[in-house]
Structure 1
């Protein structure tokens, strides 16, 4: 009923504004994936809590588009809301633009909040709708009927020193200016929070589980300006910015700044991330020539430097020790007869990670799902409304931590008790795909789309698949989802040495079970021959892979050798961080598996 009431208020505002439709994306002014509550309008008006989705509302209907990760979750959360679920990518499912073309008529207005809608998304809407005489207008309707809207976040900022980041802000600015110069651009406004945070070595806690600061950064040939709520910058932060040639202005001054740029400039701008309102400001300024193109920082930060890589390796060892303690604690409580729920799992994880040096926070809300709940790829257990851990089947745990020296993301699927032959078979197929990708050697220039296939091959051989990508990039004390790189069938960007990517194939059977095994990998150079340079992967994650569900006869000799070698590395790297009992437990988990 709450969702229906909120949609009714929104429709009243639509009518008052003369709008026949309203589009609400999952976005903020910075095109973030995970949003501060202040900008979670799509969640507020739909009731769907997944990280990605697009809501379209007309006077007579509403629809929500989600990808394959969220089909099951959205179906449950939209029940009774009056919102139609659109499963993206399936046959006969219309796109957002096709749906609106059918729902709106000549002379109608579609309202979008230009401050949070990326320019590229507005262009797609305009291309489809203006042929029918439908106008797209910048009107923030959700903001007019959201009485208890949370305030903007304003957490204290802190600096990552050169001993962690590997480069100072001034050194990174020089790299950015060099990249812009190659594109014959004079400067750009950086809006992506991961770009701003990486470039300036600034962090904060403005987004849950993602240590970014809400900020904009203007960079031209001779000037760098960060737009940031100055009350959050202490003397250390102010001093660091000044030392690195960065001016500090208030966050809400950026719009006026853009409107009054006077020197003739060619400005790089990325339509996929720069919001429509700011894009129009730049286009309206006669001193500015907008050059469309990708944000160069995205490529710069994707390839980790030697200092970052050393730090990342250290953070994964700490995280692996936490995972060992987590699994032991889970075993202890269950053996003692304690009734545990899925929500208890996240509490135990946080308790174990907090013991790690330099721990900041979780890198995302942990997914702890057993039985049928694990078929929802991004399920989140709510206390009082989740399942108890059974004495059979699987428990899928997808979690990660933010440390001062790295960001981690790991998934393990644990046997809760007796398993069926079918469960073991599916688990081993997923494991084979995980290992096959980790073992892959490939020519330099191979794309994420090329490599994605390796992890799917064992499932494809059985006529099975999973409706999501195989892996994603991971930031450095940053976003747990970073792009580039990506491992999915549509990706056309090369995976190169220094890039960190996850390896997480899975099997999801609606209302039955879900299985996923995930490590972070780093791309490394393997060899150079007459045919060019060849690359491969090294695992960064240090945590045993559950052996109870493995059918060794299904593994090839090479796969089994990889698994045993991986477990030996886990044992060697984690043992110094564990006490005697923990080391003995880990040694048992890492003992060789016979074929």
Structure 2
């Protein structure tokens, strides 16, 4: 079927049910950011392959709501589909709700597959549209027309030994139970895959780039049940979990378990990370307590084993990055290099590292104007040749069995313009200030975000994405609850939190620049004013200095850059050949 034919069949089902609008979020029953193929509903319905967006279909309009990162991609991929791009003003905001409120008449019905709608979103839709007498109903209009829908993944999962992760399953469950008791909760439902992977020391291959397993958990003070495809674990692994107090149950049994919760009990649920359909399965007499999963906060603070192993992973990753940068500098202008071939070359260097388990996300390999698309994804159609001029942006990361990496470097390939040099220097200044800041206990991400942006703001330059996100331990490259962006997120930074610092400048049709390091929050001082924190730079890879405009830099920024590149050489050179070390020595010379 063409996309227009799919749209027609969806509308036919809507008409039969007297539904005026149908909402298709980018989600699964676990409210994941990255989805297994079975739940890639937006690409199936519209052809749009970005990782963030919502489709809204009425009888006379079909639109994709997404943010600025995907405007050009969406314009290209939606062509001829019957869908139009609706440009969101605020990233992640469900602005289509207000649009529906203004478009639909009182008494209208709006449908969505409520397994793909978070509790928070479902209540927002129902509440705001309900003010106008519009009701939300649970419907799946894709299942009946998706004849070749991919099956749910069946890849085996595996458990990680306590010695490699620093904490046993039993001790983690105990920590969660402490939080449940503090909230007077009898039960706790967990649907978010990274929380489950962390809590049960389990990893898998069910979702590209994220080593997670499709599963649910229901925890009480005396019992813990893990719901997943039982064939994913061996009998020995199930016995290991049982010894830690965990009973393995079939994936689909979670629905029955929720429907059979004891009368007048209570259940703790994260409204942003559980689906609306499952909330409705809970008996009316059960009191629902809504708050962030305790495991989300516990997982964010890495223990000593996780941090030390992450440092090892960063060194391995730095070796791969260095070899890639050396290859690029030596081959440009001699060998035909494209965005896709460069990404493949980088992956080959990573794959050669001991413990490599795969990429942590789809590499953003973006030359020249493509760099101005923050989430650009090179394809066979768009694959640009990298030439010995201008700027080449590479945002990539690796999953290692002992850590997750995420790094961006923007590389001058030859002659560059004054504007490119200026923008590069401003981004570098912002990244340095974000990495070197000292701050008091209680500081939140939006404060770090502002500090990082100031060197760009001083020149009336800004960027539309957040400055940083949390990163997991051999887990999701995007992890909460901490985030560096302008939103007044109340989560304070704590020692052991790993976060990215990645300012950028994007000039459509010209170039994009982003420089990114991962940092770990550490305690550096304590006095009569407060406990003071700073960042340990975990990412170890050279930062190019050839186009830095020193007259725009302050001395403390130059000192930080020189010290950082010196550290990179010190840490990486023992793992390199003599020729590679010599190249790195020249690349990291002080300016």
Regarding TM over 0.5, the answer is yes
From 430, 434, 456, the equivalent of 2:453 is: 456
Q: Distance in 1 between matches of 2:235 and 2:576?
A: 39
Residue 590 of structure 1: aligned partner: 588
Q: Does 1:413 align with 2:414?
A: no
Relative to structure 1, the CA distance from residue 13 to residue 549 in structure 2 (aligned partners, 3 Å threshold; closer, same or farther) is farther
Residue 263 (structure 1) shift? 6.2
Report if the CA contact (8 A) 1:66-1:86 is conserved: yes
- Counterpart check, 1:394 vs 2:370: no
Q: Secondary structure at the match of 1:132?
A: coil
The answer to whether the 8 Å contact 1:112/1:138 transfers is yes
Pairing 1:358–2:355 present: yes
CA distance in structure 2 between the partners assigned to 1:467 and 1:2 by the alignment: 34
Conservation of the 8 A alpha-carbon contact between 1:523 and 1:537: yes
* Counterpart residue number, 1:434: 431
Deviation at residue 332 of structure 1 after TM alignment:
3.5
Name which of 345, 358, 378 aligns with 1:348: 345
Instruction: Measure the CA separation in 2 of the matches of 1:169 and 1:239.
Output: 13
Aligned position for 1:136: 136
Q: Deviations over 1:235-278 (max 9, x none)?
A: 34212211211001000111011111236422101221211111
Per-residue deviation, residues 334-378 of structure 1 (Å, max 9, x unmatched): 25x221211111211111101111110100000000111111111
Structure 2: how far apart are the matches of 1:561 and 1:219? 51
Q: Distance in 2 between matches of 1:340 and 1:148?
A: 36
Contact 2:498/2:518 (8 A) holds in 1 = yes
- Structure 1 counterpart SS, 2:385: coil
Q: Pick one of 495, 498, 504 that aligns with 1:497.
A: 495
Alignment pair present for 1:98 and 2:95: no
SS at match of 1:81: coil
1:268 alignment counterpart:
268
Does the residue aligned with 1:281 lie in a helix, a strand or coil? coil
1:194 equivalent to 2:194? Answer yes
Match of 2:166 in 1: 166
How far is 1:543 from its partner? 0.3
CA distance in 1 between partners of 2:473 and 2:148 (Å): 34
> Over residues 152-182 of structure 1, what are the superposed CA-to-partner deviations in whole Å (9 max), with x where a residue is unaligned?
1121111111122100100100111111111
Is the Cα contact below 8 Å between 1:177 and 1:187 reproduced in 2? no
Task: State the Cα distance separating 1:294 from its structure 2 match.
Answer: 1.4
Structure 1 distance, partners of 2:16, 2:172, is 48
Cα distance in 2 for residues equivalent to 1:229 and 1:458: 51
What SS does structure 1 have at the residue aligned with 2:289? strand
Q: Does structure 2 conserve the Cα–Cα contact (< 8 Å) formed by 1:111 and 1:141?
A: no
TM-score (norm 1): 0.96
Rounded to whole Å, the distance in 2 between the matches of 1:446 and 1:94 is 28
Which runs of structure 1 show a deviation greater than 3 angstroms over 4 or more consecutive aligned residues?
A: 79-82
1:30-72 superposed Cα distances (whole Å, 9 cap, x missing partner): 0100011111112221222111111111110012221232233
Select 2:309's aligned residue among 311, 334, 338. Answer: 311
* CA deviation string 1:78-121 (max 9, x = no partner): 33433232222269x99211111123223321111011111111
Inter-CA distance 559–334: structure 2 relative to 1 (3 Å threshold):
same
Structure 1: how far apart are the matches of 2:16 and 2:369?
Answer: 44
Q: 1:487 deviation in Å?
A: 0.1
- Within 1, Cα distance between the matches of 2:564 and 2:312? 17
> How big is the shift at 1:397?
0.2
Query: How much is the aligned-residue C-alpha RMSD, in angstroms?
Result: 1.6
Counterparts of 2:442 and 2:560 in 1: how far apart (Å)? Answer: 25
Tell me by how many angstroms 1:471 deviates.
Answer: 0.2
Q: Hey, what's the Cα distance between the residues in 1 that align with 2:467 and 2:79?
A: 29
Q: Which runs of 5+ in 2 are unaligned?
A: none
Aligned residues: 589
Contact (CA 8 Å) 2:7, 2:82: kept in 1 or not? no
Aligned residue for 1:548, secondary structure, equals coil
How far apart in 2 are the matches of 1:385 and 1:428? 28
Alignment of 1:509 with 2:507, yes or no, is yes
Aligned equivalent of 1:320: 318
